[in-house]
Amino acid sequence: MNQPPRPYPVERGLIERDDCILLVIDLQDGFLAKLDEGRAARCLERVRFLVEVANRLEVPLFVTVEDPARNGWTTAPVSALFDQDLVQHGKRVFSLCGQPDLAAAMLRQRRRTAVLIGLETDVCILHSAVGLGALGFRAVIVSDATAAPGEEHALGLARAAALGAELIHAKGLFYEWTRSLDGLAALKAGSPIAPPAGSLL
């Protein structure tokens, strides 16, 4: 029988890569179409970058899609980076934890730092982060790899932080995952990973 993970202490410290699972939430064309072009492009660039880095560092992915018959599957520029056997989990609830099979899948795997990227900040990202926190996960939202229309992005981040989720940006997560010059060198030993457009690493 699966036991809920032990809650994290208030003093959490830097993010430990080996405890992370990267959640790509509802990054579907139906939701991207609601964003202005610039915001969508910035979010996609950072999601693309983090998925590539996660693949290189062997951080597992967990992907959700809301009502794919209506909104589509994960957008092609990002899904092209997925392993062929990676499951895109369909959902009809805003918090992935509100769907028993998805909550059970998260609890079955051993990692307990849930890093959230995708859409939309004030709905599925927020609800999932709060739900994961209630299950005992350390919920971390990447602020510039999530998005929502207009002011709803900032409002969603503020609400998530007030309810206990941590916020980080893509560059910050990159350096917490790599930690050292040796870590950077190991990451760069393979084919180059382009940084997000407009970002200096």
Closest by Cα among 76, 80, 78, 63 to 22: 63
**Structure-token pair, residue 61:** 């992915």
**Structure-token pair, residue 157:** 């981040």
Q: Please answer whether residues 25 and 118 qualify as being in contact, where contact means their C-beta atoms are separated by less than 8 angstroms.
A: yes
DSSP letter assigned to residue 89: E
**Beta strands of 26-86 (E only): which ranges?**
61-66
CB atoms inside a 10 Å sphere around CB 76: 9
Q: 69-103 pLDDT, tens per residue?
A: 999 999 999 999 999 999 999 999 999 999 999 99
Cα–Cα distance for residue pair 102/90, rounded to 1 Å? 9
Q: In angstroms, what is the C-alpha Rg of the chain?
A: 16
Closest by Cα among 88, 71, 79, 78 to 29: 71
Closest by Cα among 116, 114, 91, 113 to 102: 91
Residue with tokens 């929502």: 148
Q: 121-147 pLDDT, tens per residue?
A: 999 999 999 999 999 999 999 999 999
Given this model, what pLDDT does residue 190 score?
A: 78
Domains of the chain with bracketed CATH: 17-112+122-180 (3.40.50.850)
199 pLDDT band, cuts 50/70/90, is confident
Q: In what order do the strands lie in the sheet with 61-66?
A: 88-91, 61-66, 20-25, 113-119, 138-147, 166-168
Closest by Cα among 54, 62, 64, 34 to 147: 34
Q: Please answer whether residues 17 and 138 qualify as being in contact, where contact means their C-beta atoms are separated by less than 8 angstroms.
A: no
Given this model, what pLDDT does residue 191 score?
A: 83
pLDDT above 80: residue 8: no
Cα–Cα distance for residue pair 140/153, rounded to 1 Å? 15
